[in-house]
């Protein structure tokens, strides 16, 4: 027998936005800056997180939820560095909030300064799903070519930061850093940009400093808005 699906699209979208805003508020109140890390498969999301953990070396309380279609491979790579919970979608091309909430339950109620959500390797679908993050960070590896932002515009338009990865391979690949950044800025002029090599621990310091500053801004803004609420009659 054929199955029948009825979706009331507009209501669903509004509900999704509402749930993401609620989750973001929860994170803000706890002082946890949440970073949704998106990219093509193999652009270096896991390697960058490993390099960041090496750089911080325990200075911040961090954890990661790792999205994959199948396997626990990325969580296994990250567990020596930080608490890591694998979110396996079983085929779906992006993460959604209910799965993120399951991962949060498994992480337990530990205080965190930063929570990273390593999304499914996919430059298309995750662009349409707000996971309650404060920052969306798109990684672009030098081996993918500097023409990618224009070809995958929604992902770059909805991101706050572009991190170019694998800069150690620049001598061997046809990739112009300035062209890639210019192409990305055509789509999203507000993008902050960083150039990194996780393998050689290059550029990771500047990227980590930026995150610490962003967390400071979030803490201040949450503090002020809570203060405002208390002040209101």
The structure tokens 């959604």 sit at: 96
| Choice between 40 and 159, CB closer to a second copy | 40
- Selected binder of a second copy within 27, 114, 116, 152 (CB under 8 A): 152
- Selected binder of a second copy within 97, 125, 177, 212 (CB under 8 A): 125
Return the residues of window 52-91 that contact a second copy according to CB under 8 A.
68-71, 73-74, 91
Verify binding: residue 216, a second copy, rule CB under 8 A.
no
| Choice between 71 and 209, CB closer to a second copy | 71
The CB-of-199 to a second copy minimum distance in angstroms stands at: 8
CA distances from 11 to 7, 18, 99, 127 (A): 9, 11, 20, 20
Beta bridge partners of 36: 117, 136
Residues 32 and 114: beta-carbon distance below 8 Å = yes
CA distances from 26 to 30, 95, 99, 165, 216 (A): 6, 19, 16, 31, 17
Beta bridge partners of 118: 37, 66
Distance (Å, whole) CA 228 – CA 211: 26
- Selected binder of a second copy within 60, 99, 153, 202 (CB under 8 A): 153
The CB-of-122 to a second copy minimum distance in angstroms stands at: 5
Which spans of this chain sit near a second copy (rule: CB under 8 A)? 1-11, 40-43, 68-71, 73-74, 91, 93, 120-125, 141, 143-145, 147-148, 150-154, 166, 168-169, 172-174, 199
């Amino acid at each position: 027998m054929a199955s029948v699906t009825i979706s009331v699209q507009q209501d669903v979208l509004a509900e999704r936005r509402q749930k993401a805003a609620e989750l973001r508020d929860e994170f803000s109140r706890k002082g946890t800056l949440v970073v949704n890390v998106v990219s093509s498969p193999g652009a270096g999301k896991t390697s960058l997180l490993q390099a960041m953990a090496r750089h911080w070396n325990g200075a911040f309380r961090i954890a990661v939820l790792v999205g994959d279609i199948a396997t626990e491979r990325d969580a296994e790579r990250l567990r020596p560095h930080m608490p890591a919970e694998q979110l396996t979608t079983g085929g779906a091309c992006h993460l959604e909030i209910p799965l993120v909430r399951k991962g949060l339950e498994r992480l337990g109620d530990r205080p965190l300064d930063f929570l990273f959500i390593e999304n499914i390797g996919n430059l298309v679908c995750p662009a349409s799903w707000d996971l309650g993050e404060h920052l969306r960070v798109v990684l672009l590896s030098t081996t993918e070519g500097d023409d990618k932002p224009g070809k995958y515009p929604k992902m770059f338009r909805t991101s706050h930061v572009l991190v170019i990865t694998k800069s150690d391979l620049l001598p061997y690949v046809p990739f112009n850093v300035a062209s890639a950044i210019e192409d990305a800025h055509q789509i999203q002029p507000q993008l902050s940009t960083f150039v990194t090599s996780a393998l050689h621990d290059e550029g990771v310091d500047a990227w980590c400093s930026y995150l610490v500053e962003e967390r400071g801004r979030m803490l201040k803004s949450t503090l002020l808005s809570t203060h405002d609420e208390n002040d209101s009659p």
